[in-house]
Structure 1
Amino acid sequence: MSKFTPEPTDELCINTIRALAADVVGKANSGHPGAPMGMAPVAHVLFSRFFNANPKNSKWYNRDRFVLSNGRCALQYILLHLLGYDLTMDDLKQFRQLGSRTPGHPEASIEVTTGPLGQGFSTAVGLAIAQTHMSATFNKDEFDLINNYTYGELLLLISVVIGILI
């Protein structure tokens, strides 16, 4: 098992995500910042150390996917902004406002969010099955065309709990 090595900037990054979540949700006067604030450590580590994506090409097919079951959450937008995608601070300030680029559910981005709670789990499983099928169909010996991952917050929570118990 690999050891996790904290970086000196981890705490600042996590607190930045939390502060942005509180500000974005507060400005919208809608929703609550609990999920993005609580998931900030996991999201930061996942997106800074493991997640494979390209802000210059958001439609890159082999990108990793992140499924967030608790929809209407500011976390996706905050992460996209911090990763360098075309999402400005002004866009974050318009979170959940009519006609904004940051509605309650993102329509087009590298992220996936879902409606009813629990629906994200089935979405993540479907994406994982699809990527496994694609890799089995198109990958050849010594040539991995499809090697992306699908992450979901329920699965992350389970893996964190298992990691603590082991």
Structure 2
Amino acid sequence: MELTLPVSFEEATHGAGKRVQLPSGKQVEVKIAAGTLEGHRMRLKGQGEPSPLGGPPGDAFVTISYAPHEKFKREDFDLRYEADVPLPDAVLGAKVRVPTLTGAVDLNIPAWTSGGRTFRLRGKGLPKASGGHGDLLVSANLVLPADHDPELEALMRKMRAVAEEK
């Protein structure tokens, strides 16, 4: 008998106990260890289908599946996140608050950061069963002001003219 158990990134990070309902209606507790990988298969001895010949029940197998996360994308033990960086902060530099699985941290955005630049926060990804953690890879997503800004537009026109003269 094969079952799939969805777990959140947080449950995979910290470990968790999850209840699994078997087709018989019986519920069993399954321990998800911190660092359990997606696709990991657990055997529940004697929890499968009853034997058609009256013998003991077979085994049930539970496969771990990561539920999608609203903020992060997973690449093995690394996580990816897109941080919105307002244009002035990208040009002048700033600190941007970035969520992690264990709480938000400040990320230093250097002056003249281009859109798409990726920053690595070491050890802020998913835990590895063998020890340590993956990384959180943060991409800068440049954001223009929501409202039309005539001063910004005039400045951009000047910058374009200077670039075209070179």
Q: Relative contact order, CA 8 A, sep 6+: which one is greater? A: 1
Indicate the TM-score class for this superposition, using the shorter chain for normalisation. Answer: under 0.3
- Using the size of structure 2 for normalisation, the TM-score is 0.16
TM-score norm. by structure 1 comes to: 0.16
User: Which structure has the larger Rg over C-alpha atoms?
Assistant: 2
**Higher relative helix content:** 1
